[in-house]
């Protein structure tokens, strides 16, 4: 039997768990597994949310990439610049190339500050930050420490963004942070969203809007940010509205990796890989699969999704190499802990067809859904350990299945709109 070469582009959450699962699934003589990443620092991204509030330190969130990979996986530090799907070749920035029998695209999402006027102005920004990068999160920590009063706006400029609840969580934590410093009555916090509600799906949007109101966080909707005027302290929307700020926490627009754009047919307009949403096979070629934030599937860009997808992609690579039909059972399952401040959290669980609903997870006796609880906060904080020790090695999580459980969910009583 021929030894297949499986190349994985990206050694973050999805790439690492794929490599480890594939290494277990195939003997050494059956498959060579190569992981490529352009840097050696594996960052636990959910931890970035806590850095601005002094609840986590960057150095505790980073580990070496190679250390997360099982023995028998080749790790290369290179930057992919293009994929030729006809000749099954990846091109790298240093001029080298690599052939593959199966390609897994796990290169995540890229922040695109240049898509918004004002976000890349030369020089360090005094009043405009993001917590989506380690440097941004650390800078924001100092900015918050200095902040004695005024208006903070929190604004994801466009969708999709990684972990779409994270900007809301930032608001909740900022509320708790300034209460802790006895400054809350001097700080106005406003959540500015391009959506027509606090969240994309109606039941969760209502619950989250309720939490914002309880915490006296203002909500501005339908705001399509066209420009961030750091010097003047204004967010300006394309339709000419303005929101003034003393400190802006902005999440830049996201797109896929640049090499996807340079590989005709692979990505959509935003550079996300076009895949079948149930098999995760690329539309461009049968031997290409994608996982995690890099795909165009209509579910959250979240680590939990990459975890659930991992199971489906390994199964389908096995079937593909064995010449069998693929399994189309990936249902878009996402599961997110939303930190709400003061040691509480709220869990949401959903998939392509079922919006986040109240109830309990994974069954009637489980964690409350869409409702604040201490347990969900503990779940979020415990997730860091699970990430390094269960998710990345490609192991199952206790009590959590790839398919979204229906048991325990309060289905809406009204018939769903077609």
Ligand X SMILES: Cc1cc2nc3c(=O)[nH]c(=O)nc-3n(C[C@H](O)[C@H](O)[C@H](O)COP(=O)(O)OP(=O)(O)OC[C@H]3O[C@@H](n4cnc5c(N)ncnc54)[C@H](O)[C@@H]3O)c2cc1C
Which residues in this chain contact another protein in the complex, by CB under 8 A? 115, 158-160, 164, 195, 200-201, 222, 224, 226, 238-239, 253, 268-270, 298-300, 334, 350, 417-418
| Residue 349 contact partner, candidates ligand X, another protein, none, CB within 5 to 8 A by sort of partner | none
Pick from 2, 66, 8: nearest CA to 290 = 8
Pick from 135, 121, 130: nearest CA to 153 = 130
> Which residues does residue 7 pair with via DSSP β-bridges, in sequence order?
34, 103
Pick from 107, 104, 103, 82: nearest CA to 92 = 82
- In a 3-state reduction of DSSP, which class is residue 47? helix
Q: Report in angstroms how near the CB of residue 41 gets to ligand X at its nearest.
A: 8
Indicate the residue among 38 and 395 with the shorter CB distance to ligand X. 38
**Which residue has the CB atom at the shortest distance from ligand X?**
12
Indicate the residue among 98 and 236 with the shorter CB distance to ligand X. 98
**Any contact of residue 312 with ligand X (CB under 6 A)?**
no
**Any contact of residue 346 with ligand X (CB under 6 A)?**
no
Pick from 15, 53, 44, 42: nearest CA to 295 = 15
**Any contact of residue 404 with ligand X (CB under 6 A)?**
no
| Residue 268 contact partner, candidates ligand X, another protein, none, CB within 5 to 8 A by sort of partner | another protein
**Any contact of residue 168 with ligand X (CB under 6 A)?**
no
For residues 252 and 119, is the Cβ–Cβ distance under 8 A? yes
What is the size of the binding site for ligand X (CB under 6 A)?
37
d(CA 405, CA 360): 10
Phi, psi of 342 (to 5 degrees): 55, 40
The binder of ligand X chosen from 35, 69, 106, 207 (CB under 6 A): 106
Contacts of 71 (CB under 8 A, 6+ apart): none
**Any contact of residue 166 with ligand X (CB under 6 A)?**
yes
**Any contact of residue 255 with ligand X (CB under 6 A)?**
no
Structure-token pair, residue 374:
């201490």
Given the rule CB under 6 A, which of 46-54, 96-104, 174-182, 351-359 is the region that contacts ligand X?
Answer: 46-54
Q: Report in angstroms how near the CB of residue 11 gets to ligand X at its nearest.
A: 5
Q: Report in angstroms how near the CB of residue 39 gets to ligand X at its nearest.
A: 6
Given the rule CB under 6 A, which of 41-49, 55-63, 359-367, 397-405 is the region that contacts ligand X?
Answer: 41-49
Indicate the residue among 13 and 295 with the shorter CB distance to another protein. 295
d(CA 290, CA 415): 35
Pick from 403, 392, 306, 400: nearest CA to 21 = 392
Given the rule CB under 6 A, which of 33-41, 179-187, 278-286, 360-368 is the region that contacts ligand X?
Answer: 33-41
**Any contact of residue 267 with ligand X (CB under 6 A)?**
no
DSSP secondary structure of 377-409: HHHHHHHHHHIIIIITTTPPBTTB-SSPP-TTB
Give the orientation angle of helix 303-321 with respect to helix 13-25, to 10 degrees.
Answer: 40
State which of positions 126-155 bind ligand X (CB under 6 A).
Answer: 131-132
| Residue 418 contact partner, candidates ligand X, another protein, none, CB within 5 to 8 A by sort of partner | another protein
**Any contact of residue 13 with ligand X (CB under 6 A)?**
yes
Q: Report in angstroms how near the CB of residue 339 gets to another protein at its nearest.
A: 19
Given the rule CB under 6 A, which of 22-30, 113-121, 293-301, 344-352 is the region that contacts ligand X?
Answer: 293-301
For residues 153 and 243, is the Cβ–Cβ distance under 8 A? yes
| Residue 230 contact partner, candidates another protein, ligand X, none, CB within 5 to 8 A by sort of partner | none
The helix (H) or strand (E) run that includes residue 219 is strand 218-220
Contacts of 323 (CB under 8 A, 6+ apart): none
Measured between its terminal Cα atoms, the distance across the chain in Å is 50
**Any contact of residue 248 with ligand X (CB under 6 A)?**
no
d(CA 8, CA 109): 15
Q: Which residues contribute to the site for ligand X (CB under 6 A)?
A: 9-15, 36-39, 45-46, 48-49, 79-80, 106-108, 131-132, 162-163, 166, 257, 259, 292-294, 301-304, 306, 336-337
């Amino acid at each position: 039997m021929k030894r297949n070469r499986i190349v994985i582009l990206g050694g973050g959450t999805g790439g690492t768990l794929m490599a480890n699962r594939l290494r277990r699934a195939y003997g050494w003589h059956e498959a060579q597994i190569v992981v490529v990443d352009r840097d050696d620092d594996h960052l636990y991204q959910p931890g970035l949310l806590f850095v601005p509030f002094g609840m986590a330190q960057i150095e505790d969130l980073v580990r070496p990439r190679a250390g997360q990979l099982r023995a028998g996986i080749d790790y290369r530090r290179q930057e992919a610049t293009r994929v030729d799907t006809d000749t099954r070749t990846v091109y790298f920035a240093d001029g080298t190339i690599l052939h593959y029998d199966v390609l897994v695209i796990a290169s995540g999402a890229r922040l695109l500050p240049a898509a918004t006027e004002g976000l890349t102005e030369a020089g360090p920004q005094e009043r405009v930050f993001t917590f989506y990068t380690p440097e941004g999160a650390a800078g924001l920590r100092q900015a918050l420490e200095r902040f004695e009063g005024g208006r903070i706006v929190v604004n994801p400029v466009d969708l999709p963004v990684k972990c779409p609840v994270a900007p809301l969580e930032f608001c909740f934590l900022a509320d708790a942070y300034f209460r802790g410093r006895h400054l809350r009555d001097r700080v106005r916090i406003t959540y500015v969203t391009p959506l027509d509600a606090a969240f994309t799906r109606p039941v969760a949007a209502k619950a989250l809007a309720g939490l914002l109101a309880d915490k006296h966080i203002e909500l501005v909707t339908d705001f399509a940010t066209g420009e961030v005027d750091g010097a003047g302290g204004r967010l300006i929307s394309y339709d000419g509205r303005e929101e003034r700020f003393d400190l802006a926490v902005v999440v830049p627009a996201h797109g896929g990796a640049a090499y996807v754009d340079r590989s005709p047919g692979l990505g959509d307009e935003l550079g996300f890989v076009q895949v079948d949403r149930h098999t995760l096979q690329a539309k461009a070629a049968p031997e290409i699969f994608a996982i995690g934030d890099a795909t165009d599937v209509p579910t959250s860009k979240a680590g939990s999704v990459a975890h659930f997808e991992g199971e489906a992609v390994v199964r389908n690579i096995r079937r593909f190499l064995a010449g069998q039909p693929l399994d189309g059972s990936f249902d878009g399952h996402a599961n997110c802990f939303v930190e709400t401040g003061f040691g509480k959290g709220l869990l949401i669980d959903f998939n392509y067809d079922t919006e986040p609903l109240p109830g309990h997870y994974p069954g009637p006796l489980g964690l409350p859904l869409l409702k604040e609880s201490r347990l969900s906060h503990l779940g979020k904080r415990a997730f860091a350990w699970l990430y390094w020790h269960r998710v990345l090695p490609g192991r199952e999580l206790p009590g959590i299945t790839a398919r979204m459980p229906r048991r325990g969910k309060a289905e809406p009583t009204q018939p769903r709109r077609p």
